[in-house]
Amino acid sequence: GKIVDMGAYEFGRILAIYAPESATEGDGTLTGQGNVAVGHSQLSDIIVSLTSDDTSELTVPASVTIPAGQTNAPFDLSVINDAQLDGTRVVNITASNALCISDSDAISIYDNETAVLGVTIPATTLEGGGLLDRTDEVVLLELLGRNVLAEVVSDVGEVSF
């Protein structure tokens, strides 16, 4: 779903970069799954600089070369497997060259760590009894690096926290 300025692309002045839509921590190296392209082949090699805006989640090579006479070149993406429960992160990868218009693409990195959510409520209460005056609580048994939204659903009626 990328929009590319085809006029500039046709004349080889714009780079296009493509990455998979998503990956999961623990996937390791995604061999050849990234790609950079130009609108038409050039007479000499094009060296394209690559950057990741979150190297704690995903790294890319510093550069990739589109060989003379070719219009694209694949590159590897390395998905970092950290031990942090940090949820899904969106990482932007940018391709640039001094003679071309730069481009970026995003990849979602899904977390492979999980957390345990505990809910403590009284075993019984009266219908219409109102608030339980802090006898109920939701406890996350892992420390997170960011806020998490939790929804509690009951199969026997309304529950609200």
Per the model's pLDDT, the better-predicted residue between 16 and 11 turns out to be: 16
pLDDT band for position 8 (cuts 50, 70, 90): very low
Q: Is the pLDDT of residue 9 over 50?
A: no
Helix (H) or strand (E) holding 136: none
pTM (whole model) above 0.85: no
Task: Please provide residue 75's backbone torsions phi and psi, each rounded to the nearest 5 degrees.
Answer: -145, 160
Structure tokens at 25: 């921590």
Q: Maximum Cα–Cα distance for the chain, whole Å?
A: 81
Residue whose C-alpha is closest to residue 138's, from 160, 157, 155, 118:
118
Per the model's pLDDT, the better-predicted residue between 124 and 66 turns out to be: 66
Q: Any idea what DSSP says for residue 101?
A: B
Which stretch of 8-17, 71-80, 109-118 has the lowest confidence by average pLDDT? 8-17
